[in-house]
Amino acid sequence: MARYLDPKNDLVFKKIFGGHPLLLMDFLNALLPLPDDGLIVSLSYLPPEQIPIVPPENRRGIVDVKCTDQRGRVFIVEMQMYWTPSFFNRMLFNASQAFVMQLDPGEEYKLLQPVYALGIINAVFEQSDDWYHHYKIVNIENTHRTIDGLQFVFIELPKFRAANPTAKKVRALWLRFLSEVKGELEPPAELLGYPPIHEALTISKEAAFTRAELAAYQSVMMAISNEKSIVTDSIELGIEKGIEISRQAGREEGRQDEKLAIAKNLLAVMDDAAIADMTGLAPDMVWQLRGEVAPKPDKP
């Protein structure tokens, strides 16, 4: 029986969508809100010099593919294996960079083409039943009026269900491929019966990977698992200490001390902006906390 590798893994995802433009084209046409007369009919991958420059950070768990189509539109695909509060900002940064980098010095703004950013998150980040989130620049009072240029789609993969009535057929098939394929389970007949996904399944078979690639695959999966544990343990530890402080102190003072305790325990695994967003503390207060816990230099 064939064994399949998880297509959400960096190595597998890029082998499927980063090296097979027809599969990526079908995938994007299915998942993005493109009009019937605006579907992608051909695409090419962006050369390295046109890929947005991302600030140094831990890239484990992040998959990205960037390409352009026959109209010059730019598409960015990222898949986040676990949720981080900075995800939206990173997607906005990448999309904005891609929009700006279309022009060389002296070229006219009319040459700019829209940028679509697709973020698939293998985690739940919003407490609602919605799993497909489409954002674009709209007029607040007249939402039918829009500014073309940047559009974002975020998909919460764990919320998606195969029988979801709001999902288009091909979109549902691709999301089932990402959600269900892994290990020795035989893929459902619906996936095998759709030619592009059948090809993607063939590519994701363990037998199609070299020993070096399989070692890299396991390394990525272990790193993702470790990072999830670090973040989860830190949050749980912070909450426990915050609750203990809250019980001992006054009600209002306890709430503030709880936030501070949580923030201190997150300093090692998150940046200041993410901690402020999670705890509700002011950014300058988080910055002060980081100064308090930092080791003081020895006196000369």
Helices (H) and strands (E) in the chain, counts: 10, 6
Within this chain, do residues 259 and 154 fall inside the same structural domain, yes or no?
no
Instruction: Calculate the alpha carbon distances from 15 to 31, 46, 203, 208, 217 in Å.
Output: 19, 16, 7, 11, 12
Within this chain, do residues 44 and 182 fall inside the same structural domain, yes or no?
yes
Per-residue pLDDT of 67-117, as tens digits, reads: 999 999 999 999 888 778 788 998 999 899 999 999 988 999 999 999 999
Within this chain, do residues 184 and 241 fall inside the same structural domain, yes or no?
no
Order of all β-strands in the sheet with 74-80: 43-45, 62-69, 74-80, 115-121, 146-156, 132-138
Within this chain, do residues 201 and 217 fall inside the same structural domain, yes or no?
no
Neighbours of 125 (CB within 10 A): 15
Q: Which of 67-71, 99-103, 122-126, 161-165 has the lowest mean pLDDT?
A: 161-165
How many domains would you assign to the chain? Answer: 2
Per-residue pLDDT of 24-55, as tens digits, reads: 999 999 999 998 899 999 999 987 655 555 44
Statement: residue 216 has pLDDT above 90: no
Examine the fold and report which residue of 209, 231, 261 is the final residue of a domain before the chain moves on: 209
Token pair 């996904």: residue: 197
Within this chain, do residues 186 and 42 fall inside the same structural domain, yes or no?
yes
Within this chain, do residues 204 and 272 fall inside the same structural domain, yes or no?
no
Within this chain, do residues 42 and 117 fall inside the same structural domain, yes or no?
yes
Residue 152: domain span: 10-209
pTM confidence score:
0.71
Examine the fold and report which residue of 190, 209, 228 is the final residue of a domain before the chain moves on: 209
